[in-house]
Amino acid sequence: MPKANPRHPNFPIPGGPELRARGWRQEALLRLLENVLSVGEDPDNLVVYAALGKAARNWPSHRAIVKTLIEMDEDQTLVIQSGKPVGLLKTHAKAPLVIMANCNIVGQWAKAEVFYELQRKGLICWGGLTAGAWQYIGSQGVIQGTYEIFMRIAERRFGGDLSGRFVLTAGLGGMGGAQPLAGRMAGAAILCVDIDPERAKKRQQVGYLQEIAPDLDTALAMIAAAVKEKRALSVGLVGNAAEIYPEIARRGIVPDVVTDQTSAHDLVYGYVPKGMSLDQVRSLREDGQGQLMAASRASIVEHVKAMLDFQKKGSEVFDNGNLIRTQAREGGVADAFDIPIFTEAYLRPLFARAIGPFRWMALSGDESDIALIDDLLLAMFPENRIITNWILLARQHIPFEGLPARIAWLGHGERTALARRVNQLVASGELKGPIAFSRDHLDAGAMAHPNIMTERMKDGSDAIADWPLLDAMLLCSSMADLVVVHSGGGGYAGYMTSCGVTVVADGTKAADERLDHALTNDTSLGVIRYADAGYEESFDEIAAKGIGHVKV
Ligand code: NAD
């Protein structure tokens, strides 16, 4: 039975034992599509997160996808082009059920303005990373990544945790909404600025944000008290980061850590320029895109200048993957890239071993399935400190949104071992229903993004997009259930290409084979990608785990 969804009553949360489709594989993908909308930011417009990241091109396409998933057989493959189903073709039962290519525009044309025009004509939509691929699980999807960043900073600079430390950030949207909880889990007093009061309220309702301050003075007083008492606290503040950051700097306050997760990547549909109301911005999105782009960029310049100012005064400042430095540099801030990107600064040694944001969703809708897998993880990987620490914290702090799900940064071999054990538990009936396994596209072999994932690679291979394309082909050859290639849309047009994958553990022997091949090969390619770029950790991993790397 689907569950009521108080946030979006028209988008119930899927679950229960009854199938509408002809098999669990098809039913699973249908539930994942329903799920991304049930936890999405603006499901009425099919928007899941990141301002424009959509689950399907439009409502007719959505309806056709749903109907096809319900009616298709296991030996067919549904072909989706930028959120629109275009073919249902006879393949075989080991082929992917769904393949997608979303928002891939030929190089010289891959620009925001071209994307907006194609979108206006209804010819394309942007899938974000996990939105168009039906893999989004709410703000939890990035929370462990954000937490691990905070912990790396804590280890390097603050003696192991962030208690008694002030973290300043902005953006409480679909992904940015993870920040207040990640900060609190790391022990910090974290202030999160967002221009939209509804976003702040939403994050408070779902349990990710504790307090909303009525004004900056009160917010800073709340933070100062928490810092003094070394008390973890998250405070939201409604305001424009391009005004609030410079004002905090002007008052001579220097936060310990500063970042930002507004939708700065998109100057039209994402970032809100200072001095403009949300209504003004919404109307300019229709008929004043040029004006809006100029105003957003001018505000981002001030926003980033304040971040650089904090950096000079000693704050740990980083770009959290929203292209804010790129926009500022184009606006004339020559030293914007003095701010490091989070991947290179904190997480690259993990990616070099293909340790990244793996995740699973309980298709039964039953939270006890996630609890059982949490126990399993703790039993299977007692030596893995990242995992044991994370699972204990996640259990305590992370509320479920939509289908119960868990994110955990696992690496090569670990993902496969867990998934195959879970498949046995589905078969034995110890789990209430099948489990879908997936990962963020921000994963070792899965993303080329020279200003985020692959910035300053050791061998200079930052802009080479062969890797995600190879990953997708390899995953199709490895029997994954859903395989997708995404490129950037809106402000990300021309900046990135990524690959996504989903495999369903339905308790069958065939699923065991699919999980084994797809998950093992996905992380193998991830390790190989970093070995190819010269990372020592990858060579260790290849030697220790017998990964099939060809040396030239
Ligand atoms: P979103 O569109 O759901 O939310 C963005 C939020 O920023 C909104 O709540 C909006 O009100 C707020 N905002 C916009 N301009 C503002 C301003 N000037 N001052 C204050 N608030 C402002 O987007 P999201 O899904 O939360 O993603 C945010 C950014 O993070 C995007 O650029 C996205 O691509 C990026 N991202 C990074 C990672 C990562 O791994 N680090 C993962 C996902 C998304």
CATH number for position 437: 3.40.1770.10
Instruction: Find where tokens 């409480």 sit.
Output: 172
Pocket of ligand 1 (CB under 6 A): 41, 49-51, 142, 145, 170-176, 193-196, 199, 240-242, 261-265, 270-272, 299, 320-322, 442
Token pair for 355: 């340790």
Residue 336 φ then ψ, to 5°: -55, -35
Cβ atoms of residues 446 and 63 within 8 Å: no
Q: Is 513 found in the same domain as 456?
A: yes
229 Cβ neighbours under 8 A, 6+ residues apart: none
Q: Is residue 532 part of a domain?
A: yes
Q: Is 259 found in the same domain as 119?
A: no
Token pair for 515: 């999980």
Q: Is 171 found in the same domain as 197?
A: yes
Report the separation in Å between the CA atom of 202 and the middle of ligand 1, taken as the mean of its atom positions. 14
Q: Is 310 found in the same domain as 248?
A: yes
DSSP state of 479: T
pTM: 0.95
What span, in angstroms and rounded, lies between the C-alpha atoms of 445 and 463? 13
- What does each C-alpha distance from 276 to 325, 327, 449, 531 come to in angstroms? 22, 19, 31, 48
Q: Is 506 found in the same domain as 491?
A: yes
Please count the structural domains in the chain: 2
Q: Is 164 found in the same domain as 38?
A: no
Q: Is residue 6 part of a domain?
A: no
Per-residue pLDDT reduced to its tens digit, 469-511: 999 999 999 999 999 999 999 999 999 999 999 999 999 999 9
Q: Which of 152, 175, 204, 302 to mutate to test the pocket of ligand 1 (most atoms within 8 A of CB)?
A: 175
Residue 475: closest CA among 412, 538, 527, 523 = 523
- What does each C-alpha distance from 182 to 152, 187, 208, 372, 386 come to in angstroms? 13, 9, 9, 23, 14
| Ligand 1 closest atom vs CA 172 | 9
| 159 Rama sector, left if φ>0, alpha if ψ -120 to 50, beta otherwise | left
Q: Is residue 118 part of a domain?
A: yes
Q: Is 371 found in the same domain as 504?
A: yes
What pLDDT does 50 receive? 87
Query: Which residue, of 340, 373, 390, is where some domain finishes?
Result: 340
Measured in whole angstroms, the distance separating CA 430 from the mean position of its chain's CA atoms is: 30
Instruction: Find where tokens 């200072």 sit.
Output: 274
| Ligand 1 closest atom vs CA 491 | 32
What span, in angstroms and rounded, lies between the C-alpha atoms of 504 and 44? 27
What span, in angstroms and rounded, lies between the C-alpha atoms of 183 and 165? 10
Which residue ranges of the chain lie beneath pLDDT 70? none
Q: Is residue 270 part of a domain?
A: yes
Q: Which of 130, 259, 263 to mutate to test the pocket of ligand 1 (most atoms within 8 A of CB)?
A: 263
Q: Is residue 1 part of a domain?
A: no
What pLDDT does 1 receive? 82
Q: Is 263 found in the same domain as 318?
A: yes
| Ligand 1 closest atom vs CA 264 | 32
Q: Is residue 38 part of a domain?
A: yes
Query: Which residue, of 340, 366, 392, is where some domain finishes?
Result: 340
How many CB atoms neighbour CB 155 within 10 A?
12
What span, in angstroms and rounded, lies between the C-alpha atoms of 117 and 121? 6
Residue type, 323: L
Per-residue pLDDT reduced to its tens digit, 401-431: 999 999 999 999 999 999 999 999 999 999 9
For 322-456, where are the alpha helices, taking DSSP H only? Answer: 324-330, 342, 348-351, 367-380, 385-397, 414-428
Instruction: Name the β-bridge partners of 99.
Output: 79, 483
Q: Is 536 found in the same domain as 424?
A: yes
Q: Is 218 found in the same domain as 207?
A: yes
Q: Is 378 found in the same domain as 472?
A: yes
104 Cβ neighbours under 8 A, 6+ residues apart: 485, 486, 487, 497
Q: Is residue 4 part of a domain?
A: no
Hey, whose CA ends up nearest to atom 21 of ligand 1?
194
The parent domain of residue 467 ranges over 21-138+356-544
Rg for the chain, CA atoms, rounded: 22
What pLDDT does 139 receive? 86
| Ligand 1 closest atom vs CA 342 | 41
Query: Which residue, of 340, 366, 391, is where some domain finishes?
Result: 340
What pLDDT does 286 receive? 86
Q: Is residue 538 part of a domain?
A: yes
Report the separation in Å between the CA atom of 428 and the middle of ligand 1, taken as the mean of its atom positions. 42
Q: Is 322 found in the same domain as 297?
A: yes
Hey, whose CA ends up nearest to atom 14 of ligand 1?
271
Residue type, 152: R
Token pair for 334: 């020559």
| Ligand 1 closest atom vs CA 323 | 32
Report the separation in Å between the CA atom of 368 and the middle of ligand 1, taken as the mean of its atom positions. 32
CATH number at residue 182: 3.40.50.10730
Report the separation in Å between the CA atom of 364 and the middle of ligand 1, taken as the mean of its atom positions. 31
What pLDDT does 498 receive? 98
